Structure 1
Amino acid sequence: MTNHSPYHYLDLGNTGEDLVAHWLKSQGWIILDRRWRCRWGEIDIVALYVEEGHGGQGGQGGDLSSLSPPPPLSSSLPICLSPTLAFVEVKTRSPKNWDAGGRNAIASSKQVKLWRTAQMFLVAHPDKADYPCRFDVAIVSYQEISTQLSGDKFKEKNLVSSYVAGYKLTLQEYITAAFDAVQ
C-alpha cells in the first residue's frame, strides 16, 4: 500500500467533481459555479439546465420550498421539463467504503447545511431566484489501476469513467432530486 500525502484524498474528490461536471455538460447542463462557498458550507457544483425554447426564463417560483417529490432514487439522465437549477453534491469514494459509496454521508444534518448554502447562493444570485431548484447527488468511485492488467477485464454498468494519475474514476450513479428542501 502506498503512503499518500494528506492532500491525496482531496485531489481525488476534486477529480470526482471534475468528472461529474464534464458529464453534466455532456448532458446539456451549464455549470454556473464550482465549489461555491459561504459561511454555511460549500456546494460542489451549481448547474443550470435550460430546455431549448425556454430562453432561460420560467419556472413556477424558484424558492427552495417549491420542490416536487423526488423521482426514483437513480436516474441515468438529469431530466428537466423547464429551466432547472441543480445543487449537486459529489461523493467520491473507494470501493468497500464505510458509507455506502457516500450515500450515507447525506444525512439530515448535511441536507440542512446544503439547503442553507443553496439559499445563500440564491441571495447572491437573485437572477436565478425564480428557477425551480433541486438537490442532486453524484456517486463517484475510484480505484487504483493495476499496472499488471491491460485494459478493462470486466464490463461495468456506469455513466462515465475517467483515468487520472493511476486511478480510474467512475460516475456510478446520479441521483436526481435526492432529497427535498429542509423546512
Structure 2
Amino acid sequence: MAISTSQRRGNWAEQRALRLLQTAGWQVLAQQWRCRWGELDLLLHKPQRLLLVEVKSRGRRGVDGWGVASFTAPKRRRLNRTYSCWLAVHPQYQHCSLELVLALVPQPLAREPVRWIRCWG
C-alpha cells in the first residue's frame, strides 16, 4: 500500500525528532504504537523516566503555530487513554515518571529548529 505525502512528511518529522532525542541519550520503547484509542508517536526511556512525544509538523508557520493549536483537549484525552493502554501491556514501566512534550518539527524547507513544548511531567 502506498503512503500519502502527509504520511511521508509525518514519518520524516518523527525520525528527525527521534534522532535528536537519541543523541540526548533517550532509548526508543515505542514508535507509532497503536491501540483502539489512538497512536503514540514516540515513547522513549531513560532510567526511571519516560518521555511521551507528540510530533507535529508543518511546512510553514500558520495560524496554528506550527501545529500546537491542533493539540486540543480531545486529542490529549485520546493520548492519555492510548498511553494507559500501552502501560497495561508494559506494566514494568509503571514506576517511571512520565513527561509529555510536543515536538514542533518544521518541514525541511522551513529552515527552523525543532521546538519542544513541555506539556506536563
Equivalent of residue 6 in structure 2, options 2, 9, 14: 9
C-alpha contact 2:101 2:116 (8 A) present in aligned 1: yes
Higher strand share: 2
- Residue 57 of structure 1 is matched in structure 2 by none
The alignment's C-alpha RMSD in Å is 2.0
**C-alpha distance in 1 between matches for 2:50 and 2:108:** 31
Equivalent of residue 133 in structure 1, options 92, 98, 102: 98
**C-alpha distance in 1 between matches for 2:46 and 2:56:** 21
Note the residue ranges of structure 1 that are not aligned, 5 or more in a row. Answer: 51-82, 146-155, 159-170
Q: CA offsets per residue over residues 99-143 of structure 1, 9 Å max, x none?
A: 110100111111101001010110010111111112111000114
- Residue 44 of structure 1 is matched in structure 2 by 41
User: May I ask how many residue pairs the two structures share in their alignment?
Assistant: 120
**C-alpha distance in 2 between matches for 1:157 and 1:113:** 29
Write out the 4+ residue segments of structure 1 that deviate beyond 3 Å after TM superposition. Answer: none
C-alpha contact 1:136 1:174 (8 A) present in aligned 2: yes
**C-alpha distance in 2 between matches for 1:20 and 1:123:** 26
Q: Which is higher, the Rg of structure 1 or of structure 2? A: 1
Distance 1:157 1:140, change over 3 A: closer
- Residue 109 of structure 1 is matched in structure 2 by 74
C-alpha contact 2:106 2:112 (8 A) present in aligned 1: no
Normalised to the residue count of structure 1, the TM-score between the two structures is: 0.61
**C-alpha distance in 2 between matches for 1:45 and 1:128:** 15
Distance 1:179 1:108, change over 3 A: farther
**C-alpha distance in 2 between matches for 1:15 and 1:143:** 9
Note the residue ranges of structure 2 that are not aligned, 5 or more in a row. Answer: none
- AA paired with 2:39? E
- Residue 16 of structure 2 is matched in structure 1 by 19
Report how far residue 157 of structure 1 moved.
6.5
- AA paired with 2:107? Y
The SS at the match of 1:97 is: coil
Equivalent of residue 116 in structure 2, options 174, 177, 180: 174
- AA paired with 2:104? I
- Residue 96 of structure 1 is matched in structure 2 by 61
Higher helix share: 2
Q: CA offsets per residue over residues 21-45 of structure 1, 9 Å max, x none?
A: 1110000101111001000000100
Identity %, equivalent residues: 28
